[in-house]
Each structure stands twice: as structure tokens, then as C-alpha cells.
Amino acid sequence: MSRRHARVTAIGIAGALLLAACSGGAVETGKIAGRAGGEPAAGARPVRIQASNFEFSPEHLTVQQREEIALRLQSEDSSHNFAIDGLGLVVDVGGGETATARLRIDEPGKYTYFCTIPGHRDGGMKGTITVR
């Protein structure tokens, strides 16, 4: 590969990454106190959610303030994820797979969860989580 070709390729990759970052339906973080992602805490309550094109089941969840949740996301078709507006990405799941991650919200309120994959939220992949 020539030096010039290498530089053009590098610019192309940077552009593709930037595009991916911009079109990914980014989730806002740092507005809600809590934990999103990583290993579930010991003794966490398991909560199962099914993800499919284009809905979550259930569409409503209720948890207690500061309650440790082991969120188990099961994909019935393609890749999906579960993110909470203001808190962050909780878990990603590959097509037909199941993945589990930590979730804890420290402030009571009503929050929105959704799938960040482009088009999925607009297609209906969203729900509400009530924290008491």
C-alpha cells in the first residue's frame, strides 16, 4: 500500500467511525444517579426483558430506589440493546442471544428506556421504568 493510499484509507476509517457515532442514537449519561452495565451485584433481583423488532416486552418496569437489578435482555431476532435516557447503556445483546448486566437507579422518578440502534426507538423499542 502506498503512503498516500494509507492516508486516504485512514481518513475513510475516521469518517466511518464518526458517522457511526453520530447515527447511533446516542444515549445521554450522567443525569441520573445509579449504575448501568457491568457485572450484576451479588443478590441482585433478576428482571427479564424480551427484545424484538421493534418492541420490548414488557414495556413498563417498576423497581425500588437503589435496588440492584440483574437485567437479562433476550433477543428474539437481531441485535438490540437496552439504554436509559440520562443514565446510559445497560446491556447489548447479539441476535438471538441473551445478555445480563447491572442496573441500579438511585433517584425515584419515571425514566425512559430504549434501544439505541438507529431506527429501533422510532420503530417502537421504548418503554418506561418507574423507580419508587
The footprint of Cu ion (CB under 5 A) covers: 80, 115, 117, 120, 125
Closest to 103 in 3D by CA, of 83, 76, 125: 83
- Min CB(26)–Cu ion separation in Å: 14
- Min CB(120)–Cu ion separation in Å: 3
- List C-alpha distances in Å: 69 to 33, 53, 82, 98, 106: 15, 24, 13, 16, 12
Pick 82 or 111: Cβ nearer Cu ion: 82
- Min CB(51)–Cu ion separation in Å: 6
Distance CA 72, CA 47 (A): 6
Pick 24 or 108: Cβ nearer Cu ion: 24
- Min CB(74)–Cu ion separation in Å: 12
Residue number with the shortest CB distance to Cu ion?
115
Cα-trace Rg, the chain:
17
Pick 105 or 115: Cβ nearer Cu ion: 115
Pick 65 or 124: Cβ nearer Cu ion: 124
DSSP notation for 58-82: SSEEEE-TT--EEEEEEESSS-EEE
